[in-house]
Amino acid sequence: MLAALLGLAACGGDDDDDDDGATAEEPCQEVTAPEPRNVNLDPPPKKPSARKLTAVIDTSCGTFEVALDTKGNPKTAASFSYLAENGAYDDTLWHRIVPGFVIQGGDPQGTGSGGPGYSVDEPPPADAAYTRGVVAMAKTEAEPPGRSGSQFFVVTGADAGLPPQYAIAGKVSSGFGVVKTIEGFGDPQAGGTGTPLEPVVINTVTIEEG
């Protein structure tokens, strides 16, 4: 699989101090990068298991929650939930962090080239906007709009300025301060590569219904 990078490099973003009033509740833990692993899952269900699904993402910098968009993007929400329930996200890196733009994770290989062994297609609407807190799926430029595997990104700037190419999984509903803390591990000098200054890890992703 080709590296699952965003179609546009960071253009500086909108790096203001608005964090939606949220703050991280605990300092980041010092961690080492987890060992790369292969994931090869069967295709996911096409429909979510419930109308309301919340992904609880526990990281080495604290926990934040994502309200999955089960109504507007059911295939993508069902896939994200399926990946979480099968442990695909557990003990993986935030492998790309671009201050004022996005934090990106979800690759079991930790390199930006891994995936779950399948892909899902759900093109976003023409008016899709990738604004602060939106969680969307990463893909290569060669892949069609809305194709996704396991890699995802969280928009940290006011507006990432991306075209409607990336399937939307949901939006951060709680703990955006943790996202901003993770963003702080991005190297401003790294440009669009987004190589983190130190490892930041997704410990677990669990799914809550209702």
The stretch 146-157 carries a mean pLDDT of 98
In whole angstroms, what is the distance from residue 180 CA to residue 103 CA?
A: 9
Q: Any residues with CB less than 8 A from the CB of 208 and at least 6 apart, and which?
A: 53, 54, 56
Q: Identify the weakest region by mean pLDDT among 24-38, 77-91, 151-165, 169-183.
A: 24-38
pLDDT (mean) for 36-54: 97
What percent of the chain shows pLDDT beyond 90? 84
Single pTM value for the model? 0.90
Reported as a pLDDT band with limits 50, 70 and 90, residue 16 is very low
User: What pLDDT does 110 receive?
Assistant: 96
Give the tens place of pLDDT for each residue, 156-206. 999 999 999 999 999 999 999 999 999 999 998 877 789 999 999 999 999
pLDDT number for residue 25: 56
pLDDT at 178: 98
Please give the CATH number for the structural domain made up of 53-209: 2.40.100.10
For residues 14 and 158, the answer to whether their CB atoms sit within 8 Å is yes
Which of these, 98, 84, 77, 92, lies nearest to 41 by C-alpha position?
A: 84
Query: Does residue 145 surpass a pLDDT of 90?
Result: yes
Rounded Cα–Cα distance for residues 185 and 97 (Å):
7
Give the rounded distance of the alpha carbon of 11 from its chain centre.
19
Number of helices (H), then strands (E), in the chain:
2, 10
Instruction: Calculate mean pLDDT across residues 46-60.
Output: 97
Mean pLDDT value across residues 116-135: 98
CB atoms within 10 A of CB 25: 12
For residues 183 and 13, the model is more confident at 183
Domain ranges of the chain: 53-209
pLDDT of residue 191: 72
Inform me whether the pLDDT recorded for 105 exceeds 80: yes
